[in-house]
Amino acid sequence: MSELKIVKKLDTSGMLCPMPVVKTAKAIKEMQVGEIIEMISTDAGSMPDMKAWANQTKHELLESHDEGKSFRFLIKKTH
């Protein structure tokens, strides 16, 4: 499998719901279709929030990882 090319990194560490989703939504609007954003969060609620947001917006949640003290998401812009 080829390595994913991340074009934008967004660190929302220290922000609480709904800010990780709000910041991700704003950042993805500035991207081209097919590009990938990496978002880092420290809010435990971001795991279900990002899954729900991706499902609702139809952007592709490629990866979501609980890394202990933070959560990492890779999202592909689909439209």
0.75 cut: is pTM over it?
yes
What number is the average pLDDT over the span 31-51?
97
Residue-range domain boundaries for the chain = 6-76
Mark whether 17 is an active-site residue. Answer: yes
From 10, 15, 17, 19, the catalytic residue:
17
Judged against a pLDDT cut of 50, whether residue 1 lies above it is answered with no
| 75 touches 62 (CB < 8 A) | yes
Pick the CATH number of 6-76 from 3.90.1150.10, 3.40.50.150, 2.102.10.10, 3.30.110.40: 3.30.110.40
- Predicted pLDDT of residue 53: 98
Query: Does residue 10 surpass a pLDDT of 90?
Result: yes
Residue 11's pLDDT is what? 98
pLDDT confidence bin for 17, thresholds 50/70/90 = very high
